[in-house]
Structures are given as structure tokens and as C-alpha cells.
Structure 1
């Protein structure tokens, strides 16, 4: 396959930055504990005072889909993605008073929308933020959070423990499906958002 083609898709979808000291870590809703585990590592490095996991459950499922990996470590009953991610953070020694709450969002755009409402209600000025997400979800997550926090400098920190990442996504059917699924979702969802913005 054409290397230039692969490189362009890879650079677009797989965003990754070296994290810097920030005001908060955002975690879009998920049943994968690695997102909260990565956030806990950064928290313990002294990079942030607060972590804001977000999520009720997927609008497609209508309920929390369950723990996706490491069920032997996180075997509780969870009503929402936020509740699950909070438990992962606590088990990784993050102080509960430093875990913020957003448990209404049912898809990624809402993760960003409702997270903004939380930080506004708390009177937080978010100058810098770290975004913990799955590698192939990085661009779409970043676009949404940038829409809601246009003045914020973001540092995207994708989890390392993922079977689909920038080095290998094009080698498996699953990787190709997930990455081009993201390309499709970005096109469809941001077409609608752009139309709405142009009418305001």
C-alpha cells in the first residue's frame, strides 16, 4: 500500500503530545480501564490537580456496556461510565476529592459539552488540559473538546495498552475498520456541526 497515503491517514487520526502541567485531565466515556489508569499515572506525576471522567453510557446501548478489559481487576457493578472510571482512578490511588463528576453524556460530543458545563459551574479556567483517550479515537475526541474549549491548549495522551495504534492499524482488518470508521464519523458528525455553526 502507498506509504504516503498511510502516513497521511495515520497523522490525521493518531494525535499524540508530550503532556505538560495542566489544569485538568479529561477522559471521554469508556469501558476501557486503561484510560483512567493512564490518567492516574499523570496525576501521580504531579501534572494535574483534577481528573474529569465523563460519561453515562453509549446512546446506542442504552446502558453501560460493561468493563471491556481487565475484568479481574475491576469486577464491580457499574451504572455509568463515570462510575466505572471513578472506581479505576480510586483503585489507582487518586484522591476522590480530585475526581470531578460528569455522568450524563451518551456520546463523545456530549462528553465535551457536559464537561464544559462542569468546569464552568466550578468556576475553573482551563488554560491547559490533557486528554486521555484510545489511540484511534484521538483526533475525534480532540476536535470535540477543542470546540467546547477554544482557548485551551490540549495535550493528547493516548493509552499505550491498545491493540490498534499508529504503528500497526493498517495490518489488521479490525484496525482498518476502526480507523476508517473514525474518518467516516468525523466527516459525518462535523459536517452537521459545521452547518449548525454557519447558521448561528
Structure 2
């Protein structure tokens, strides 16, 4: 990638990462993805005592369909158990196909198991934090005003994020373009709450699209 495009991508990355401060909670809710580091980070949070329950949510989504042969939540579950998390501290929701379903199906699973949900740590990829937050705040079936939410992600910088699994930086940039467009358009569809996009962030989006970058999904 050209350096000017890297800087534009970093502008979007910084906006999409929300930087919430962690706080002790009832549940660590982990959205599935194509990045196993999300599961590994959630396991760290559990071992550190941030919440007693881990919920892994995700079937096969846009980035894992045809790539993984098992649901994202099942793979994340196995990562957690291998890293020493007690199986009786884990719940698995492996049918959801998008972020809205992650929220709705996980709520039902927690409710069915009589697990408190007054405070939740939501774990996603760094550049998915904002979209995950906006979706949760719109789709959570419980009383959102009585639910404390913080969103977090693996502590990885934009420049260090690329690896063999998630692909090169260009791949991440094109996924971010897709996600930012959804942050922009999904509120009017009723999928997410509205969030203001600063002019410089939308300008970065437009410049990357004009340069030939495309939505990844």
C-alpha cells in the first residue's frame, strides 16, 4: 500500500476503535470473526477475572463462509478450553450469521441459562468495535438503559494487525470500508444506533474508494 493510503486507513481504524475502559462485568460476550486473536484476548480477560462467563457467538459469516469448516463460536470455544478456561464457564451460540443475530441470539442464550446481564464486556476486532457497539445498543432485547456495556478488542495497532490469517493490510482496509459504510447507512435501516462520523474520517473513506479500494463484503 502507498503511504498516503496507509495514513487514510489508519484514520478510519482510529475512529472505529472506541477505546472503552474495562470494568468488572457479568459476562464477556465475544463476537465471532476470522481472527482467532479475538478469542485469545477474551480468554486473557477471563483469566484476569473481568467476568465469570464467556459467551462465544457466531456461525459462519461473510469472512469465514467457505474458509472455515466449523462455526466461529465452536472454534473460539476450543481455543478457550485449550487455554485453561473451565468448560462450565463457557456458553456457545453458533447459529448467528451477522452482528444483529450475535446480539439477539446471545441474549436468549444468557436468559435461558439465568445468567445476569446487567454488565457486559463486548469483544471484537479493533476496527469492529464501533459497529459492534452501535449494533448492540440497537438490537439488545433487554433494557438497554439498565445494561452497562464496554467494548474492547485485542491490543494491536493498525500497522501490526496484518498476519497470515487475516491477510495483508489492504484486506483489512477494504473490510473497514465495508464496516464504515454500514455505520453510515445502517441506522436508517434500523440495524444500529446513529453515530456521528467526523468529516476527516468520511473523507478518508471517499479517497480510498476513489483510489480503487473496494468493499470486502
TM range (shorter): 0.7 to 0.9
Query: Which residues of structure 1 form unaligned runs of 5+?
Result: 67-77, 167-171, 196-200
Structure 1 position 187 matched with structure 2 position 172: no
Question: 1:26 — aligned with what?
Answer: 29
Change (3 A) 1:35 1:95: same
Distance 1:183 1:63 in 2: 21
Question: 1:50 — aligned with what?
Answer: 53
Question: 2:105 — aligned with what?
Answer: 114
Q: In structure 2, the residue corresponding to 1:131 is in which secondary structure?
A: strand
Question: 2:154 — aligned with what?
Answer: 159
The superposition leaves residues 114-173 of structure 1 with CA deviations (integer Å, 9 ceiling, x where unpaired) of 01111111222311111111111000111112220513111211112464689xxxxx65
Distance 2:10 2:121 in 1: 25
| Alpha carbons 1:134, 1:162 under 8 Å: kept | no
Offset at residue 194 of structure 1 (A): 6.3
Question: 1:65 — aligned with what?
Answer: 67
Query: Which residues of structure 2 form unaligned runs of 5+?
Result: 162-168, 193-217
| Alpha carbons 1:131, 1:155 under 8 Å: kept | yes
The superposition leaves residues 15-68 of structure 1 with CA deviations (integer Å, 9 ceiling, x where unpaired) of 12221110000111113211111111111111111000101111x4784632xx
Q: How does 1:1-200 map to 2 (within 5 A)?
A: 12-58=15-61, 60=62, 63=65, 65-66=67-68, 78-147=69-138, 148=140, 149=142, 150=144, 151-161=146-156, 163=158, 173-174=170-171, 176-193=173-190
Change (3 A) 1:164 1:98: farther
Change (3 A) 1:186 1:165: farther
Q: What is the TM-score with the length of structure 2 in the denominator?
A: 0.70
Say what the alpha-carbon RMSD is for the aligned residues: 2.8
Q: What is the TM-score with the length of structure 1 in the denominator?
A: 0.75
Change (3 A) 1:95 1:109: same
Question: 1:198 — aligned with what?
Answer: none
Q: In structure 2, the residue corresponding to 1:94 is in which secondary structure?
A: coil
Offset at residue 190 of structure 1 (A): 2.4
